[in-house]
Structure 1
Amino acid sequence: MKSSNFLKYTALLVFAIAIGFFAYMVNASKALSYLSHDPKACINCHVMNTQYATWQHSSHARDVGCIDCHLPRDNMVNKYIAKARDGYNHSVAFTFNTYKNAIKISDDGAKRVQENCISCHASLTSQMVKNADANHNYDDPSVATGRRCWECHKGVPHGKVRGLTTTPNNLGVKEVQ
């Protein structure tokens, strides 16, 4: 009887410690911030500081956040599936320190960004298609270049990184207000 109570209390204690550890990890990793629309969630990992800093100084920073470009916009299910998949891949890469010095967008992520560029700038892109040239004809495969919007317009969402002082937080750069 006493060993049965001991096992119950031990199991309860182990369970409580596990719950406490889980709550600590959720808090320490700012896990709930990833459910928000706030671009600061993207700099929870120091790896993304330069992307955040360059976006912050772009024209997109006024109205467009990270997820507006980098996640699907067709429906909530696809958005959260992509968010979960990207979050998992990012957390594994960050945990095991497998990020490269220059972060490269995945093929799936590049496809989403391209679709979102065209979607957000629909009136502009439709005008470009009407006045089609070799660089802006999205519909005619005979003249399509296969280029993505940011290959020419890279400085718009993420400008040039000039050095480590362009990163916020730990390097003394203040937030743009």
Structure 2
Amino acid sequence: MTVKIWFKKYGIYGIAVLFILLISVLLSSKIIAKTNTPEYCASCHVMQEEYLSLIKGGLHNSLKCVDCHLPNDSKVNFYFWKTVEGGKELIIFYSGRVSDPIKASTHAKKIIQQNCIRCHEGMVSRITISDRKCWDCHRRISHKHAGLRETI
């Protein structure tokens, strides 16, 4: 299909759609980078306490929220769950259904556990206890200054 025929068929609407797609592609990397930062997560007022506890925390204060709270086994899995969880969090926040204290879902706990093991593989390779989670012993390791709130 030539440009002239395409323009006749789709007209100004087609050009508008192409323009929007082009802008989306150009901005997507910036949007993704911005939404991967702890500061973005903290922009939701219910996460302020967790953010402050992370940046004031010890060993994990150089990590981003997505390092622990999203799967990091593949880019496809990461972006899929970033979209799913991000959409879910927006709905929960704007519908006013944020739980207090904030608790991780079963799926989120599985991801967090996998990420603990991924980062600390050398230290945990000989541990054979499979029915316990890392935070059973290492409570509030990343959000330790978040007061009395549960973080997992």
Distance 1:162 1:123 in 2: 31
Distance in 2, Cα, partners of 1:90 & 1:150 = 23
Correspondence for 2:138 among 127, 144, 153: 153
Residue 61 of structure 1 corresponds to which residue in structure 2?
61
Do the aligned partners of 2:42 and 2:48 also contact (CA within 8 Å) in 1? yes
Aligned-partner Cα distance in 2 for 1:79–1:98 = 25
Are the aligned partners of 1:70 and 1:109 in contact in 2 as well (CA < 8 Å)?
Answer: yes
Contact residue 114 and residue 148 of structure 1 kept, 8 A: yes
Note the residue ranges of structure 1 that are not aligned, 5 or more in a row. Answer: 1-11, 13-18, 20-30, 130-135, 139-143, 164-177
Amino acid at match of 2:136: E
Amino acid of the residue matched to residue 161 of structure 1? A
Question: 1:52 and 1:35 mapped to 2: Cα distance?
Answer: 15
Inter-partner Cα distance in structure 1 for 2:32 and 2:41? 9
Please report the TM-score for the alignment, with normalisation by the length of structure 2.
0.71
Kindly report which structure 2 residues correspond to 1:1-177, keeping only aligned pairs within 5 A, or say none.
32=31, 35-58=34-57, 59-62=59-62, 64-126=63-125, 129=126, 136-138=127-129, 144=130, 146-162=131-147
Shift of residue 32, structure 1, vs aligned partner? 3.1
Cα deviation 1:31-87 (Å, max 9, x = unaligned): 93675431111112111111111111222013x111111111111110011101111
What is the count of residue pairs matched by the alignment? Answer: 121
- Separation of aligned partners in 2, 1:112 and 1:68: 10
Once the two structures are TM-superposed, the CA of residue 153 in structure 1 deviates from its matched residue by 0.6
Identity in percent: 32
1:72 and 1:116 in contact (8 A); partners too: yes
Equivalents in 2 of 1:137, 1:47: separation in Å?
36
Bigger Cα Rg: 1
CA–CA distance in 2 between the matches of 1:95 and 1:71? 21
Matched-pair contact (CA < 8 Å) for 1:34–1:41: no
Note the aligned Cα RMSD (angstroms): 2.4
| Structure 1 letter corresponding to 2:97 | T
SS class of match (2:61): helix
Query: Matched residue of 1:161: which SS?
Result: coil
Question: Equivalents in 2 of 1:147, 1:67: separation in Å?
Answer: 23
Tell me by how many angstroms 1:161 deviates: 2.6
